[in-house]
Chain A
Amino acid sequence: MREVEAVLISHGISTCAGCALELAARHVMDVLGPNTVIVIPPGCAALLSGFGSETALRIPGIQGNLENSAAYAAGIRAGFEMQNRESVTVLALAGDGGTVDIGLQALSGVFERGDRILYVCYDNEAYMNTGIQGSGSTPVGATTTTTPGGKDRPRKDMLAIAAAHKIPYLASASVGYVRDLRKKIEKAEATSGPSYIHIHAPCPTGWGYESAKTIEVAKAAVQTGAWPLYEVEKGRTRITVKVGELRPVAEYLRLQGRFSGLGDADIEAIQAQVTEDLESLLEKCQEEECETRSVRAATTGDRDIGELP
């Protein structure tokens, strides 16, 4: 019997070699600490939950169903609240399928009610655990077993959906930038109300690249503008990792087997969309920055204007 030090997640888990979810989960748990209860739906993260009498977790948790992680978490929060145990962190760790598709309703309910849970979505852009089927988060052009010719429609913008609910804190994150991710988890934990972190989690098995390249792929997504890293804090959008000179998105796409069916025209279309989406995001940041400035300018003498609601 091996000796194990008191880590919260076992070092020996049957996730794929090079799994981004595993990396993300470790950093999330390292920030949050042991006073945490976790809800994990069926999916890749269920490998943390364990099998039979064994678990890879040293914190308490429950495997719910695929679509209701947010609801279990909200109920757990309510139970602790009524017992004056507010300091416990309630975390849901769900994949893109269990969040943007079947999990959307329960999550939307949590957002609207303002239940204080930390919802982390690890996005490997398909239903990976069941064999790489397409999800609402699969990007246009990607091959999955249910989009064998390449997905012909863009993905859902889950962060925009979260922002539309006006929750106090939401952010995109990437396993290619773990320090940024950790800061965001800290902010989310301190939020009084629902918080949402959407982590880009490249998957060697499903995306078609060798396991060693997970971080390279994740970084490429950010550096090409395909996965901008930003946060929306009380309605104010801010880019958290600025990219100096954007690389062409083709450099990101060509790293992955799932995009190997794309022709030049497809890649150009994707580039155009990435550029457009990034420009909207930047405009939003500037608009909100300008609004803050003009509110400040309009108020004489009072420096503590604070942030916009």
Chain B
Amino acid sequence: MARVQVIAAYPVTPQSPIVEKLARHVAEGSLPAKYMRVESEHSALSCVIGAQLTGVRTGTATSSVGLALMHEVLGVASGCRVPIVMAVVNRALVSPWSLWCDHQDTMAERDSGWLQFYAENAQEVLDLLLMAYRIAEHERVLTPAMVCLDGFFVSHSLQSVTMPDQETVDGFLPAYRAANLYLDPDDPMFINGLVPPEDFTEMRYQQLVGFESALRVIPQVQEEFFSKFGRRYEMVEAYRCEDADVVLVTIGSMSGTAKHVVNKQRDQGIPVGVVKLTTFRPFPVEALRKALGGARVVGVLDRSAGLGAPSAPVCLEVVAAVRDEGVRVIGYVGGLGGRDITETTVESIFRELLEIKDGRRSKPVKPWIDVRADAMTIRPWGGKAS
């Protein structure tokens, strides 16, 4: 749909069906692109950067350890302002080895200089990808973008999706043209050479300006998307927060579960709400503050561990965003390594948040909301046979 012309991707669970389908489309001729069967993710990103610099839109996707392997090259895309768009299927980083959903992979890249969007469901994946190309390629942004989708929960569930028609997409997403830096023998320049201390800060600052511009460009693109395709997106979605006593900040597919719990609680007269972060980079401080409304106790459910930090990543950023607003932020970690975030999990979080709000509790029973009681003894070994 986005008319990519070069695709380079390496298979990794749970992204593999993406590359297989793309390869098939190319082989069948329904996607007029060159499919490069690269030998690693590090090369996948290198190939698409090379191709994009010659003036074609590219496509790639990865997950977990594949993203980790790309880490070095992520900085080249962002530092050289190459507007690559990449789908990342969220999966735990090793070790322990896991095939399943966890946000550590993309959270580990929150300082990579890439935009980050998180999808709640399959429709959002499609829509966010189309918008991501527009946003990334915008002349005041020129920053690569990751569109993140939960492994298995989104990547491997069957959902019906409204497909836009190609003509409307073409009207929304014009043909790619290389701006800024490019490789063309008719107009030579040397890209990514060594930069002295006199200029390095300024180039990082240019990227900062790109991120600040993104905060303005993203809502504009979302507005245009709504007018063309009829589906509304916001950087931060406030779900039934207007009169909420407490609010839970969510990211990714857990948002769907959380909204469902909100509906059930509201049916019982309990005023709770969910704030879903669709845009994580740039972190939408103003939009978040607005979405939280008057709630004074805010929970954040992180799907990555954030080891060693005062809180897990999303929670830390929410704390920073609401710092002087008199809001109490309670961080939770759950759903790691493919553990389902169930209605029960969300209900217990809301229950605790309400207790904290009412002064009946000062802090969570356990911030790692779904950790088992026998955590330290799950691998017994040795001793006498009984």
Contact = CB atoms under 8 A, between A and B. Distances in A.
Interface of A: 34-37, 39, 46, 49-53, 55, 57-65, 67-68, 70-83, 85, 88, 105-106, 108-109, 112-113, 115
Given A62-B50, A72-B50, A79-B50, A37 B183 contact: yes
Given A72-B46, A73-B50, A61 B190 contact: yes
Contact of B56 (A74, A82, A105): A82
Nearest to A76: B50
A84 to B, nearest CB: 11
A308 to B, nearest CB: 27
B194 A67 contact: no
A77 B187 CA distance: 17
Nearest to A88: B185
B78 to A, nearest CB: 14
Interface string B21-43: 00000000000011011111011
B177 to A, nearest CB: 11
Given A52-B196, A71-B38, A76 B5 contact: no
Interface in B64-101: 72-73, 76
Nearest to A74: B47
Contacts of A58: 188
Contacts of B46: 64-65, 68, 71-72, 75, 106
B365 interface: no
16 contacts: A46-B193, A50-B193, A52-B193, A60-B184, A60-B188, A61-B188, A63-B191, A71-B46, A71-B50, A74-B36, A75-B6, A75-B50, A77-B50, A79-B52, A79-B55, A82-B5
* 3 A-B pairs closest in CB distance: A75-B50, A79-B54, A109-B39
A57 B188 contact: yes
Nearest to B54: A79
Contacts, number: 152
A105 B225 CA distance: 42
B199 interface: yes
Given A37-B183, A82-B6, A105-B39, A75 B49 contact: yes
Nearest to A57: B190
B8 interface: yes
Given A34-B185, A63-B192, A68 B73 contact: yes
Contacts of A68: 42-43, 46, 73
B72 A65 contact: yes
Nearest to A35: B185
B192 A64 contact: yes
B190 A50 contact: yes
Nearest to B188: A60
A39 to B, nearest CB: 8
B53 interface: yes
B36 A78 contact: yes
Contacts of B196: 51-52
Nearest to B4: A82
Contact of B53 (A46, A62, A82): A62
Interface string B281-306: 00000000000000000000000000
A49 B8 contact: no
B250 to A, nearest CB: 36
A73 B37 CA distance: 15
B142 to A, nearest CB: 16
A65 B38 CA distance: 17
Contacts of A36: 185
Nearest to B43: A71
B76 A79 contact: no
Contacts of A37: 54, 183, 185
B236 interface: no
Nearest to B51: A79
